[in-house]
Amino acid sequence: MLINEATITVRYAETDQMGVVYHANYLVWCEIGRTGLIEELGFKYADMEKQGVLSPVINVNMTYLRPAKYGQQVTVKTWIDSYTGVRVTYGYEMHNSLGELCLTGTSEHVCVNAETFRPVKIKKVFPEWHHAYETNKHNG
């Protein structure tokens, strides 16, 4: 199972009045991790979109365990939690610079035709992606 690691430096604009990262910013960091994982597998979202396929989020689940704060480094770990050939669930963990676990979560995506928004089978449209996802998904 491949786990991508991305490092984010918490910017002041990402924090709220309490000096901690505003909860919605973690979703942006998940996208950074997810994009990094896909690129580490050898693919790009932009190439998928050029072929008329989108990958919208259909479900997000985040558990906030402790705050990340301005100036800290946050490590975003991302992996393929499950894959059905149509749906992909990515798993996430975020740790602050003290090594403390700040967040665990998942986001579920489905590939769809950009014009009709009907689901497409990744195996049929992108066999290389299918093979990489099957090979690298979580086995637990």
Per-domain boundaries in the chain: 4-136
Structure tokens at 73: 């480094």
Tell me the mean pLDDT in the region 92-101.
96
Q: What percent of the chain has pLDDT over 90?
A: 83
Active site annotation includes 16: yes
Q: Check pLDDT > 80 for residue 140.
A: no
Q: Check pLDDT > 60 for residue 89.
A: yes
Tell me the mean pLDDT in the region 64-90.
95
Q: Check pLDDT > 70 for residue 42.
A: yes
Torsion from C-alpha of 110, 50, 79, 1, nearest 10 degrees: 110
Q: Which residue has the tokens 């597998």?
A: 41
Give the Cβ contact number of residue 76 at 10 Å. Answer: 24
Among 1, 16, 44, 49, the active-site one is 16
Give the Cβ contact number of residue 65 at 10 Å. Answer: 11
- Are the CB atoms for 87 and 108 separated by under 8 Å? yes
Query: Could you say which architecture CATH assigns to the domain 4-136?
Result: Roll (3.10)
Distance of alpha carbon 24 from alpha carbon 38, whole angstroms = 22
